Chain A
Amino acid sequence: MSGVLAAQGDAHRPSDVLSTLKRLGFGAVVSVPDGWLGKILVRIEHEPSMRLVRATHEEEALAIACGLRLGGVRTALLVQNAGVLSMGAGMVSLAQRYQFPLLMLVSYRGTPDDPVFYHVPKGRVTEPVFRGVGLSYACVDRHRPIGPQVEHAATFAEEASSPFALLLSREDIQW
């Protein structure tokens, strides 16, 4: 753990992500898991105020999230960056076209500090593809508390009436 994080009192960043979602009134999470997301999804599943929907494909997850929001439930997507690469058509033709504000919490695999080598092909194209499909995004600053960054991402999605992706590193999201 870095000295900066230690100076923050060893904050458990995945706990802060979950407590922020609860505080902001997120009633549902739709997800296709990866190795980093697995445990926080179990926590969400046991939250009385939240509903977890496990989808089979990320584009399907995106559409489920749009339906939840259409019906009045504030909804977050938890997916790997590979999943965002494979949801491009739904992103532009449904989520952006109909202006659904969705918070996307995305595990950012394939960065230089990801030890799993086969994620690299996805990591190197993630941000160019996000820009290409017009998906607004930010990378989490691991030296600042995670809760406010999640809140700002959620606020951006609402004010822009569109999905917003927050790219997370392992310590942000792996419980």
Chain B
Amino acid sequence: MVNVATARPTRADYYKVLAENLPPQALVVTSLGNASYLWAKVHDAPENFYFEDAMGLALPLSLGLAIAQPKRPVIVVEGDGGLLMHMGALVTVGAVNPANLTVLVVQNGVHAASGGQALTNASLDLAQLARAAGIASTENIDQPLALADKLRGRAARNGAECLVLATEPDLDVVRPPASFDPLLSKHRLQGAIGAPRYVHAVFGGGKLEGA
């Protein structure tokens, strides 16, 4: 069990470290609530994909993105509530095990985005859970500097990595620099990575073409 009752770093502490140590060409997916609002404030970039809702689906979407873009690091910020909601996704990540995927789990013990309601279990050892799901590189972290070390020391990995960040709950909603626009978020990222576009035929089906 992890002690989440003692003072923990804030989400902002970890985000500062993440922004300062972001790997080149990284794509960053953030789950709903302050996970996205604060990241947009700290490091807005076309390579970000912001969730505004769809709790629990940031991790599986990131898995798909990591498979599609194997040459780019993909970093997903998921909450402990979201992870518990779709825990099966952790198993799928462990099975596919893409070496370019880093899962950052903000463990604050509450459903922060909906007002701080208690989780079903606030003190699970989520790193152990990730290990059991097949993710070999996993660790519970309670200091931003430890996250910095992990992000800097990017030795070649054989599979995905899961870092669980013990975090103080942040219940005050952060105001992002601009209102989220789901389509803009999608199109910005697709433009940044040069994703192929659908080119339609006048009659019959088209295909994805070009970059």
Q: Taking beta carbons and an 8 Å cutoff, which residues of A are in contact with B?
A: 24-25, 28, 30, 51, 53-57, 59-75, 89-90, 93-94, 97-101, 151-152, 154-155, 158-159
Say how far B103's CB is from chain A's closest CB, in angstroms: 13
- Cross-interface CB contact of A101 among B89, B182, B198, cutoff 8 Å: B198
The 9 closest A-B pairs by CB, nearest first: A67-B64, A71-B68, A56-B88, A72-B195, A63-B60, A67-B61, A63-B57, A68-B64, A67-B65
Counting CB contacts under 8 A, is B41 at the interface?
no
- Cross-interface CB contact of A60 among B86, B198, B206, cutoff 8 Å: B86
Q: What residues on A are CB-neighbors of B190 within 8 Å?
A: 70, 72
B57 touches A90 (CB 8 A): yes
Q: What residues on A are CB-neighbors of B200 within 8 Å?
A: 155, 158-159
Given A71-B66, A94-B57, 17 additional A-B pairs, CB 8 A: A25-B207, A53-B63, A53-B67, A53-B92, A60-B86, A64-B67, A70-B68, A71-B64, A71-B68, A94-B51, A94-B53, A97-B52, A97-B54, A99-B183, A99-B186, A151-B205, A158-B205
B61 touches A64 (CB 8 A): yes
Q: What residues on A are CB-neighbors of B89 within 8 Å?
A: 55-57, 60, 63
Q: What residues on A are CB-neighbors of B61 within 8 Å?
A: 63-64, 66-67, 70, 94
A93 touches B92 (CB 8 A): no
Say how far B186's CB is from chain A's closest CB, in angstroms: 5
- Cross-interface CB contact of A55 among B60, B66, B69, B204, cutoff 8 Å: B60
A-B contact pairs, 5 of them (CB 8 A): A63-B60, A68-B64, A72-B69, A72-B190, A94-B53
- Cross-interface CB contact of B53 among A30, A66, A97, cutoff 8 Å: A97
Q: What is the bound-complex CA distance between A65 and B59, given in angstroms?
A: 12
A70 touches B49 (CB 8 A): yes
Counting CB contacts under 8 A, is B208 at the interface?
yes
Say how far B26's CB is from chain A's closest CB, in angstroms: 13
Q: What is the bound-complex CA distance between A29 and B168, given in angstroms?
A: 39
Q: What is the bound-complex CA distance between A93 and B195, given in angstroms?
A: 23
Known contacts A59-B57, A98-B183: A155-B204 contact under CB 8 Å: yes
Q: What is the bound-complex CA distance between A112 and B59, given in angstroms?
A: 38
Closest chain A residue to B76 by CB distance?
A: A67
Say how far A16's CB is from chain B's closest CB, in angstroms: 15
